[in-house]
Every structure is written in structure tokens, then in C-alpha cells.
Structure 1
Amino acid sequence: MHIRIDEEITFRKLEILLAFMETGNLSRAAAQLDVSAVSVHRALHSLEAGVRCALFRHEGRNLHPTEAAHALAEVARSVLRTMSEGIRTTREVAGYSADRVRIGSLYSLTNRTVPALVMGMKLRKPDIQTELILGSNADLLTKLRDGAIDAALMGVPEGAVDVESEALFQDDIYFAAPVGSRYAAMAQVDLASCADERFVTLSEGFVTYSGFVDSFRVAGFTPNVVMKTGDIFSLMNLVSGGVGCTLLPGRVRTVMPDKVQFIPLQPRYLMRQTIALNFLRTRERDPNLLALLTVCRTAKAELG
């Protein structure tokens, strides 16, 4: 059976009823709720219209609750308590203001960026647990929209109008080759001269792969890609092992194997990544995300 509640009965009016029942006075109830006594009076009479029975007796200018009012107040306490708990549970399922924050990240950000932000969150909100999920830009964007993560540390997604981004730093792309290669003595690498070179790269979906493709589009040829991998650290090992050269963001230089050399690209091939904290616009008032945003803004100078 479909249950219909009169539209005159609202949660706010039930809150007003309880405030009046507890204080016994229109003015005190109004002060407790930060509204006018007239608003309290109207809400109580509106409830009477909604339940279709008298809730109060008039004695001069005073209202005295009937047994019906006491009965409704008892139900109102239960309803409001249940609804409050339901909203809290719903928000936790959605990750909103929960006791944990789930951060998605690119593999290449786990050396400096992720530790800095995790430690910042620990200091700002010590009771919040941080969970880390790694993936490509495409993976993280999907997880963000599916609610599997609360925020993503990755490149700014193009055309994602549902996503808010807080830029952390910009990163240039470099040519990466084994130490001792023919590129070692070059001040800058001209990609147009690398048509016969073997290359390794990340899989599609990574922001670094997008920069790789864009750079070779400028160079005017399709590179000979002999192997793709799903994380940037495996990619660096492939380069150090002599499997092929690649293009890598400057942020991984501090963790590069000794056998890999970074060489700047000629300016016309230069691609720059903007790394940001990304989250859904619908979550922009989440207290945990607001705290994470504050941490990011504080850490910008260190990460840039």
C-alpha cells in the first residue's frame, strides 16, 4: 500500500513541535531554533492542518498541548532520530565526511606527493584514515565517478565538467635513455631524428602516455613501440635494461635507476603535465575533502 503523508507535515515542523513541547513557550522555542515566535505559531497550526485534529488548547494567548500533541511528539522524536541516522549512514556510504578518505593516485606520485599529503592530513585530521588506490588517469577518473575513491591525484582530465581540480604543480616531459646511449652528450633531443629508435611506453589511459603520443605527433612519425607496461617504475626498468627509450615526467628523476639518463627535449616537443587534486563538484562541501584541499594548498610550494 502506498503511504501518503500530508505535505503540511515536514521534518522542520516536527523539530519546531519538539522545541515547543520541551520549552512550553513560543518565545523560548523560537529562541532555541533562531526563528520568530510567529514562525513557531504558524508551524504548529500547520501541523494541526496536516494531521487533521487539534493538537493544542487555547487559553488566552497561550497554547497548551493535548494528548494528541504528546503522541505526535513521541513519534516525531523517533522519526527524526531514524532519519538523522539514515542520513549519516547514507553519507558514509557515499564517502562524505566518513572516518576515512580514499585517495587515488598515479604511480609516479607515490614518491613525494602522496607522502606529503598523507602526512598533512594526519596532522590536520588525525582521526581520519587514509586509503591509497593506484591507477592510470582513466582508471582513477572512472573510480572517482563511480564513488570508489573520494579524490584523485592525477593530470587534470580534459572536458570533465563534473570534476573540480586544484592544481599542485606542472611537470615537463623528458627524453629517457640508457646511460651511454648516443643521446648522452646531447643538450636537447630532436625527436624527428629518432624514427629508427625502439621505444617503450605506458599503456593507454596514463597522462604520460598522452604526452608521449602528442610529442611524436609533433615529430611527424609513429614511434616503434616494442613494449607497453602498466606502471611507471616498470617502464624505467625497461629503459635501464636497454629494451628501449621513452618519455618520462621530470618528477621521477629522483627515483630513476642509475642506468637511466634524462635529456631535455627540443622546445617544440615540450609537453607539460598539470598534476592536480581532482574531485567531483557534487562533493565540494565534504569536510574531509575541504581538509585535503587545505593540505594541498599548503604543500604547493614544497611540491612545485
Structure 2
Amino acid sequence: MELRQLQYFVKVARKQHMTQAAEELRVAQSAVSRQIKLLEEELGVNLFVQKGRNLHLTSVGHLFLSRTERILTDLERAVSEIHEFLDPEAGEIRIGFPHSVVLHLLPTAVAAFRKDHPNVKFKLRQGTYNSLIRDVTKGEIDLAFISPFPEKHEHVAGDLLLTEELYAILPPHHILSEYQSIRLEQLKDELFVMFSEEYSLRTIVLEACRRAGFTPRIGFEGEETDAIRGLVAAGMGVSLLPEMALADNGLMQPTKVRVTEPRVTRTVGLIQRAGERLPPVAEVFRRFLIEFVQGELKP
């Protein structure tokens, strides 16, 4: 069994198409087909089944894929650690984040870190709560900002960075926009602009509304804070967003109003795979981030 056979297998499994996999690998399709066939013969099983124009994994193929991805990820990490041992300042940090964190915290942290570590590279991946935990668990990223912070989890561990307040955002000419603070109950008859179901902020907002005694009417859904803010500013409804997501100073902005009853917050943390040491440069960045966030939050 050769390393390239495993690499070809993973690529075909992800693309579900022999030709597309060969194009990304920049090798002939016949070479990919032959290596997959040799791999199947050595294992004594069929890893794929043809369905129309696509190749789908068999049940044993799915089992083999999960193990193979872990092997290749660990090999990639081992090579990176050797490079970092030879030159720690030339390493790469793979970090994931939800969209609401990238707007302010991540860019300023990376910029500050690179002042003292100019040769360190960053590989960034945006994701949702579940996808970020999955990527950390599979070893595809070293660290991930995540919200809410999972206090107890079988596969990831980390540090709670901050607890952040969520504000009501309203159209600029809304009747409540001049108030310094409101009760969430005052928005019970409004149309809400919400994140899609896979986003944790949606769950936080729904739970807050439940505590306030109502179920929000959802008029629009989005996947990025820019879209949420823009729709609210255009008068399409109201919403709740964390303060970190309201740092933009663009032309079209909603009004921000504090919610006092109930007080709505979210936790933001930094996670890594449980039971494993980070690559040296990632560990340096993890420690830097904790100190950086604490400094940013000082009055």
C-alpha cells in the first residue's frame, strides 16, 4: 500500500468523480483509476460503487476514509512539526472561526501577532459550530474560535476567552431606536431577521425570546452578520447581534440598543483537539491570543 494510493483515494472520495479528482491531483485519470483498483485489490473490498456519473463510497469505503483522513492529517502535521522545529518562525497556523469573530477580533489579533512573528503563515477556515468542532477533531485545523464555548466535550478542549453581550438591532427610524435600553418582550410583535438553523447565534436568540415569553416571527434568514445588519438597516425587521459583530462603520447601519430583560450573552472560546499537544507555533499563538483578548477587554 503506497502513500499516493491513500491520497488518490481520499481525493476521489471527496470529489465523488474520477475525472475531477484527477484534474485536482494533476495526473492522468487512468493513473488514478489504476491506483484505486490496486488499493481495492490489496484490501480485498470495493471502496466505491458507480451511481450515474458519480462514485459513492461503500459502507467499508466510509470506514476506510475516516481512518485514512486521520493518517494523512497526522502525517501532514508531523512534516509541519519538523519544519517548525528547524525554523519555528516559518511555521503555519491553521485556525477556524465563525463569521461573527472574523469581523474584528481575529484580524486585529493576527496583525498584532505578526508584528513579532512576521514569517508565520495562517491558514484560515470559516465554519459553523458543528463544522468547527468536526474540523478540530479530525485534525484539519489546529485551533478554532467557537461560540458558545463547550464547557465539556469528549473530543475538544480549550479556553474560555470572553462572555459577550448581545444587543437588539433596529431600523434607524424604529419607534424604539431612541431608547438606551429595552426589554426583549417589547419586540414580540416584530418580524425577526435570523441566522440560518446551523448557526449557534440563532439558538441563543430563540432561547432568549422564549425566556421573554414569546416565539419570534422569522421573516428573513441569513448566514453572515453583514446580511443581518443590512436587512435590519433597510427596515426588513429586527434582530439580536453580539457587540463584536457591530464594529463595522459602513454607511447602512442599524441602531444598537441594549437589552436589559433578559440579559442576552454568548461565550466565545478557543478550542483544540483534546489530549494532544499543539504544533509549537500554534501553541505560541494560543498563549498570545489569551493574553491579547484579556488586554482588549480591559476598561
Pick the TM interval, shorter chain: 0.5 to 0.7
Moved over 6 A (4+): none
Residue 92 (structure 1) aligns with: 76
Give the alignment partner of residue 253 of structure 2, picking from 254, 259, 279: 259
Please give the alpha-carbon distance, in whole angstroms, between the structure 1 residues aligned to 2:230 and 2:249. Answer: 9
Unmatched runs of 5 consecutive residues or more in structure 1: 1-86
Please give the alpha-carbon distance, in whole angstroms, between the structure 2 residues aligned to 1:147 and 1:285. Answer: 10
Contact 1:198–1:225 under 8 Å retained in 2: yes
Letter in 1 for 2:262: Y
Please give the alpha-carbon distance, in whole angstroms, between the structure 2 residues aligned to 1:236 and 1:303. Answer: 24
Letter in 1 for 2:296: L
Please give the alpha-carbon distance, in whole angstroms, between the structure 2 residues aligned to 1:176 and 1:106. Answer: 20
Contact 2:145–2:271 under 8 Å retained in 1: yes
Give, in angstroms, the shift of residue 96 of structure 1: 6.2
Residue 143 (structure 1) aligns with: 135
Letter in 2 for 1:243: M
Contact 1:95–1:150 under 8 Å retained in 2: no
Contact 2:139–2:273 under 8 Å retained in 1: no
Letter in 2 for 1:129: K
- Pair 1:193-2:150 in alignment: no
Give, in angstroms, the shift of residue 201 of structure 1: 0.9
Give, in angstroms, the shift of residue 123 of structure 1: 4.0
Contact 1:151–1:278 under 8 Å retained in 2: yes
Please give the alpha-carbon distance, in whole angstroms, between the structure 2 residues aligned to 1:265 and 1:94. Answer: 48
Please give the alpha-carbon distance, in whole angstroms, between the structure 1 residues aligned to 2:283 and 2:218. Answer: 42
Residue 82 (structure 1) aligns with: none
Please give the alpha-carbon distance, in whole angstroms, between the structure 2 residues aligned to 1:263 and 1:216. Answer: 16
Letter in 1 for 2:193: V
Distance 1:293-1:228 versus aligned 2 partners, 3 A rule: same
Please give the alpha-carbon distance, in whole angstroms, between the structure 2 residues aligned to 1:301 and 1:276. Answer: 12
Equivalent pairs, count: 217
Residue 244 (structure 1) aligns with: 237
Alignment of 1:12-23 (within 5 A): none
User: What do residues 173-218 of structure 1 show as CA deviations (whole Å, max 9, x unaligned)?
Assistant: 1110010101112232222232221001111232322220121110
* Corresponding residue SS for 2:259: coil
Please give the alpha-carbon distance, in whole angstroms, between the structure 2 residues aligned to 1:195 and 1:120. Answer: 42
Give, in angstroms, the shift of residue 229 of structure 1: 0.9
Distance 1:160-1:205 versus aligned 2 partners, 3 A rule: farther
Residue 200 (structure 2) aligns with: 207
Please give the alpha-carbon distance, in whole angstroms, between the structure 1 residues aligned to 2:133 and 2:73. Answer: 25
Contact 1:139–1:205 under 8 Å retained in 2: no
Please give the alpha-carbon distance, in whole angstroms, between the structure 1 residues aligned to 2:269 and 2:78. Answer: 22
- The alignment-based identity, stated in percent, is 22
The two structures, once aligned, show a CA RMSD in angstroms of 2.5
Q: TM-score, normalised by structure 1?
A: 0.64
Give, in angstroms, the shift of residue 281 of structure 1: 1.8
Give, in angstroms, the shift of residue 247 of structure 1: 0.4
Please give the alpha-carbon distance, in whole angstroms, between the structure 1 residues aligned to 2:80 and 2:201. Answer: 31
Give, in angstroms, the shift of residue 95 of structure 1: 8.2
User: What do residues 6-49 of structure 1 show as CA deviations (whole Å, max 9, x unaligned)?
Assistant: xxxxxxxxxxxxxxxxxxxxxxxxxxxxxxxxxxxxxxxxxxxx
Unmatched runs of 5 consecutive residues or more in structure 2: 1-70, 85-90
Residue 167 (structure 1) aligns with: 160
Q: TM-score, normalised by structure 2?
A: 0.65
Contact 1:152–1:277 under 8 Å retained in 2: yes
Distance 1:161-1:95 versus aligned 2 partners, 3 A rule: farther
Give, in angstroms, the shift of residue 140 of structure 1: 1.3
Please give the alpha-carbon distance, in whole angstroms, between the structure 2 residues aligned to 1:126 and 1:285. Answer: 20
Please give the alpha-carbon distance, in whole angstroms, between the structure 1 residues aligned to 2:73 and 2:151. Answer: 33
Give the alignment partner of residue 274 of structure 2, picking from 256, 281, 286: 281
Give, in angstroms, the shift of residue 253 of structure 1: 2.4
Contact 2:133–2:156 under 8 Å retained in 1: no
Please give the alpha-carbon distance, in whole angstroms, between the structure 1 residues aligned to 2:197 and 2:80. Answer: 31
Contact 1:117–1:292 under 8 Å retained in 2: no
Letter in 1 for 2:281: N
